Amino acid sequence: MNSSQLAAYFNEYTQAYESGQCTKEEYINLLQGLDVEQTIASTAEELQFKEQLNVAINAAISIASAVA
């Protein structure tokens, strides 16, 4: 999740709270959810990087095997 998406959700929740669509406790709960969301997004990025690295390593091995 990038910072603009995060800001959009933050604004949506803040507007809902200010207009009385949700309580203070619910608002805090939703913000805590955004915090968890950031952790999941950064872990997903780490895993994605590993996956790309894995593809690159296997491609390098294939090329090396073909040349040898």
CB of residue 31 vs another protein: minimum separation in angstroms?
10
Q: In Å, how far from its chain's centre is CA 24?
A: 25
- Residue number with CB closer to another protein (51 or 62): 51
CB of residue 68 vs another protein: minimum separation in angstroms?
18
What is the rounded CA–CA span in Å between residue 53 and residue 11? Answer: 36
Could you tell me the two tokens for 15? 């507007």
Which residues contribute to the site for another protein (CB under 8 A)? 1, 12-13, 16, 21-23, 25-26, 29-30, 32-34, 36-37, 39-41, 43-44, 46-58, 60
What is the CB neighbour count within 10 angstroms for residue 24?
Answer: 8
